[in-house]
Structure 1
Amino acid sequence: MKLFTHLFLITGGVLLIACGGNKNDQQQAPPPPTPVTAVKAEKESATYYDAFPATVTALREVEIQPQVAGNITGIFFQDGQRVSRGQKLYTIDPQQYRASYDQAVANLNVQKANLNRAQKDADRYNTLAQQDAVAKQLVDNANASLEANKMQVAAAEAAIQQVATNLKYTTIYAPLDGTIGISQVRLGAAVAPGSTPLNTISEDNPIAADVQIDESQIQRFLSLQNKAGVVRDSTFILMLPSGQPYKYPGSIRIVDRAVDPQTGTLRVRIAFPNPEKQLKPGLAGNVRVKNSSGQPQLLIPYQAVTEQMSEYFVFVVGDSSKVSQKKVTLGARINDKVIVKNGLNEGELVVTEGTQKIREGAKVRVDQPGQSGNPKSDSSNRQTAAK
């Protein structure tokens, strides 16, 4: 019995030691590598478009304002039709202005008659003065009267010019070729200078789109303005409210003279052909501006990017299949890829799938794309990179 008891104790101790050793071995075993998908960061040709909100505007636009007061007696166009420069548009009742003109002409004739009499009196007195047959005071009075009548004639002529101008303004002509809008007055309406414009005429081919650019973009747009052939290579594309691109590319017509100190932006006017009159002033859209440096850019899949506190990071697979997190500076997003400006080197292996399952220093196993998890779940918390 003593021998059996000793054997039982020895056997139990061995079993306890064996079990304890297996437990420690299990606790010290390293975790298996996390399966991920990764791609190499490579340089590619990067041509993309920046979008700027735009408002369509006429390159030339004129408001038709009345220059004299009166009632509208004639309208000589159809609303919305195309008009030519010099075409008659409106007439304002000319009766009072014609009467004023006739009165001014009559007054001029009276002043001319007075001038003729004063001229004869002055000539007569000056002849007598040469013969010492008249008092010098009479001669001086005659000459002064002559000068006064000359001035009265000049004033009468100026009055005629004024009333003639008013009479001329009773007929309103188109100041330029373009499309006229809907008339703001009807026959018989009373109008006066400074009142509501009668109508507006705008040139519609070409037409323009105004965009506001940040002051950091000024040099870029000045370079595009001086670049030859920007129309042929579709540098400027207007996106219509329907989301469809306008079929004619544009070119920079005007870069404004000064930056708005309140907003820090500068207005740029881009002209577009408009032969079908599809574009109308006031139309809202977006102008897409081609951005291509001509140099290859470092591109990675956008789903590889994670955002933390408004900063962007990627996981890079390094030696011994361990990952490290790198902070990157992003450029424009191009489809499913994004430009990396700083923080990453060409050829580095960037994790694209499985990023939410790893952390700094974790060991990974790189699988083929689509085998490490659902890429949608990895990218659900990411936000669009700032351009």
Structure 2
Amino acid sequence: MAHFPRSFTAVSCLIVTSLLLTACDNPQQQTSSPPPAVTVYTVASQPIGDYREFVARTSASQEVDLRARVEGEITQINFTEGGTVEAGQLLFEIDPKPYQAALERARADLSAARASATQAAADFQRGQELSPRGFISQSDLDKLRAATDQTKASVEGAQALLEEAQLNLGYTSITAPFDGQIGKHLYDVGTLVGPSSAPLATLQSIDPIFVDFQLEEGTYVSYLQQQANNTDESGQPALDLSLRLPNNEIYGELGSLNFADTRIDSTVGSVNIRAEFPNPDGLILPGLYVTLIAESQDKAEAPLIPQSSVQESQLGFFVLTLNDQSQIEQTIVTMGRRIGAMWVVESGLDSGQQIVIEGLQKVRSGITVTAVEKTVDPQTGVVMDLPGNQ
């Protein structure tokens, strides 16, 4: 078998390699990868006002400790602990029998006093008739007059004792003074209680619920100066008051200011302010730490974007935007307040622009992408399909 020279073999290898490279450079033979897919959000604006947040605490709009006003044994407890009661509902009953007996005695004493007063008045009248004829001395007439006055006083005293007995009997039934929620009872049936005992239970009204917070004295003075020019028709300050609950959700009801203290607390240099919020479902309980958000009703349009779309570098906050050629651009933005899962953009973005909210790790400035538009739940930040694409 003939042997080819080594030089011919080397040349053959170079030719084969060149052909392979040429085939790789042929666009028809290459496999091109598609542009990366990202999820985009179309920026929208909404009216946003100046605002401020305060650490606040909730309290009941009405609260009362239910106490025993007479001594006796608890015979009934007519409520469910932690439940709702209505005004006038019987809550506790203290054994009424001793007080019923005392009431009957007081009635009998009053009847006896009235009988004595009637007799004394009759004796005095006869004495007045007999005195001019000389049948009774002036001294005896004076005694009859004194007896009449004394029996009248006895009637008044007996009447007072009767009213006291009626009150004491009424105190054996402890009723709810207003609608509200009642807590745990501290005494059981059969326990002897009295005026010196601890409260039997606590009743609270939580609709509306009060929210207490503090305002610095300088801010409060400015607020008073501007109040006359910034009030609505009802005389209330032109503010929208809302609450952020401990689970970071915004409460669904708006509140209003209803009290400002008449003096400054000199120890901290602030004034106590109170707002009230409707609480028909009893969602807010007294004692919660909440965030009170006060926002001016004088609002201006500002873009809102999902917080998850904002990134930060040495230059500050930025987002990835999509231009008309479906290319990614890095846009520096100035951020304002956060509202739920959204973030107010003070500058850098306009309504209608599209920003990347998913797939951020797959893209960089200048590359072309395939965009899928979706929306975002403003409270939870969950990415959702557009209504027409579901």
TM-score range (shorter-chain normalised) is: 0.5 to 0.7
- Distance in 2 separating the partners of 1:72 and 1:190: 6
Q: Which of 233, 236, 259 is the equivalent residue of 1:254?
A: 259
5 Å-filtered alignment, 1:151-166, equals: 151-166=153-168
SS in 2 for 1:164: helix
- Distance in 1 separating the partners of 2:280 and 2:192: 37
- Distance in 1 separating the partners of 2:313 and 2:291: 24
Return 5+ residue gaps in structure 2 as ranges.
1-46, 302-311, 317-334, 347-364, 366-390
What is the CA distance between 1:87 and its match in structure 2? Answer: 1.1
Over 3 Å counting, the alpha-carbon distance change for 1:229 and 1:115 in structure 2 is: closer
The reply to whether residue 196 of structure 1 matches residue 201 of structure 2 is: no
- For 1:71, the equivalent position in structure 2 comes to 73
What is the CA distance between 1:100 and its match in structure 2? Answer: 1.5
What is the CA distance between 1:338 and its match in structure 2? Answer: 11
Over 3 Å counting, the alpha-carbon distance change for 1:133 and 1:216 in structure 2 is: same
- Distance in 2 separating the partners of 1:111 and 1:292: 72
- For 1:93, the equivalent position in structure 2 comes to 95
What is the CA distance between 1:130 and its match in structure 2? Answer: 2.5
- Distance in 2 separating the partners of 1:177 and 1:337: 42
Over 3 Å counting, the alpha-carbon distance change for 1:53 and 1:124 in structure 2 is: same
Give the letter aligned to residue 54 of structure 2: F
- For 1:122, the equivalent position in structure 2 comes to 124
SS in 1 for 2:206: coil
SS in 1 for 2:111: helix
- Distance in 1 separating the partners of 2:266 and 2:238: 33
Q: Quote the sequence identity (%).
A: 30
SS in 2 for 1:133: coil
What is the CA distance between 1:304 and its match in structure 2? Answer: 8.3
SS in 1 for 2:156: helix
- For 1:178, the equivalent position in structure 2 comes to 180
- Distance in 2 separating the partners of 1:186 and 1:134: 67
User: What are the superposed Cα offsets for residues 129-171 of structure 1, whole Å, 9 maximum, x if unpaired?
Assistant: 1223221111111111111111011001001111111111000
User: What are the superposed Cα offsets for residues 87-143 of structure 1, whole Å, 9 maximum, x if unpaired?
Assistant: 111101112212221221121122112112211211111110122322111111111
Over 3 Å counting, the alpha-carbon distance change for 1:234 and 1:227 in structure 2 is: closer
- Distance in 1 separating the partners of 2:66 and 2:227: 36
- Distance in 2 separating the partners of 1:98 and 1:57: 40
What is the CA distance between 1:47 and its match in structure 2? Answer: 3.8
What is the CA distance between 1:176 and its match in structure 2? Answer: 0.7
Q: Which of 131, 134, 137 is the equivalent residue of 1:135?
A: 137
Q: Which of 256, 263, 268 is the equivalent residue of 2:268?
A: 263
- Distance in 2 separating the partners of 1:112 and 1:242: 70
Give the letter aligned to residue 167 of structure 1: L
- For 1:343, the equivalent position in structure 2 comes to none
- For 1:273, the equivalent position in structure 2 comes to 278
Over 3 Å counting, the alpha-carbon distance change for 1:185 and 1:227 in structure 2 is: farther
- For 1:216, the equivalent position in structure 2 comes to 218
TM-score by length of 2: 0.61
Return 5+ residue gaps in structure 1 as ranges.
1-44, 306-331, 340-369, 371-387
* Contact 2:49-2:300 within 8 A present in 1 as well: no
* Contact 1:239-1:286 within 8 A present in 2 as well: yes
- For 1:150, the equivalent position in structure 2 comes to 152
What is the CA distance between 1:220 and its match in structure 2? Answer: 5.2
Query: For the aligned residues, what is the CA RMSD?
Result: 3.4
* Contact 1:48-1:334 within 8 A present in 2 as well: no
